[in-house]
Amino acid sequence: DESLLKLIPSEIAGKYLVVPVNRFGHTITLAMINPGDVAAVEDIQFATGFEVVPVVASEDAILEIVREHYDVKKLLSDVMYEIEMADAGEANVQVIDNAEQKEEEDLSDFQDDKDSGPALKLTSKIITDAVDMNVSDIHIEPYEDDMRIRYRIDGMLHEIMKPPKRMNRSLATVIKVMAKLKVEEKRLPQDGRIKARIHNKIIDIRVSTVPTLFGEKLALRILDRSAIQLNLDLLGFEPSNLKTFRQAIKSPYGIVLVTGPTGSGKTTTLYSGLKELNDPGINIITAEDPIEYSLMGINQLQVNEHIGLTFASALREYLRQDPNIIMVGEIRDLETAQISIRASLTGHLVISTVHTNSAAATVTRLVNMNVESYLIASTVLAIESQRLLRKICEKCRFK
Q: According to the model, what pLDDT value does residue 304 have? A: 83
Q: Which residue has the higher pLDDT, 89 or 334?
A: 334
pLDDT at 95 over 60: no
Tell me the pTM: 0.65
Beta bridge pairs of residue 383: 257
70 with 4: CB under 8 angstroms?
A: no
- pLDDT tens digits, one per residue of 308-350: 888 888 888 888 899 999 999 889 889 889 999 999 999 999 9
Check if CATH label 3.30.300.30 holds for domain 2-75.
no
pLDDT at 107 over 90: no
Question: What is each CA distance from 218 to 74, 90, 139, 168, 306, in whole angstroms?
Answer: 23, 19, 6, 10, 22
Q: Where residue 250 falls among pLDDT bands split at 50, 70, 90?
A: very high
pLDDT at 114 over 50: no
d(CA 171, CA 125): 12
Least Cα distance to 260 among 344, 334, 361, 349 occurs for: 361
pLDDT at 121 over 90: no
Domain ranges of the chain: 2-75, 93-97+106-224, 232-385
CATH class entry, domain 93-97+106-224 = alpha beta
Q: According to the model, what pLDDT value does residue 393 have? A: 73
**pLDDT mean over 353-373:** 92
Q: At what angle do helices 72-85 and 88-97 cross, to 10 degrees?
A: 110
Query: Which H or E element spans position 267?
Result: helix 266-277
Q: According to the model, what pLDDT value does residue 108 have? A: 52
d(CA 95, CA 80): 17
Query: Which residues are within 8 A (CB) of 147 and not within 5 positions of it... i.e. 6 or more apart?
Result: 140, 141, 162, 163, 164, 165, 167, 168, 215
Mean pLDDT over the full length of the chain: 82
Least Cα distance to 19 among 49, 72, 58 occurs for: 58
Return the DSSP state at 304: B
- pLDDT tens digits, one per residue of 217-233: 999 998 877 767 788 99
- How far, rounded to the nearest angstrom, does the alpha carbon of residue 381 sit from its chain's CA centroid? 32
| Common-topology check for domains 2-75 and 93-97+106-224 | no
d(CA 325, CA 381): 14
d(CA 224, CA 287): 21
CATH class entry, domain 232-385 = alpha beta
- pLDDT tens digits, one per residue of 276-316: 999 999 999 999 887 877 788 999 998 888 788 888 888 88
Question: What is each CA distance from 125 to 76, 153, 202, 217, 363, in whole angstroms?
Answer: 11, 17, 16, 18, 45
User: Which of 7-21, 163-177, 214-228, 236-250 has the highest average model confidence (pLDDT)?
Assistant: 236-250
- pLDDT tens digits, one per residue of 52-82: 898 988 877 877 777 666 655 555 555 555 5
Of the listed ranges 54-58, 250-254, 325-329, 368-372, the one predicted with least confidence:
54-58
Least Cα distance to 175 among 133, 129, 125 occurs for: 125
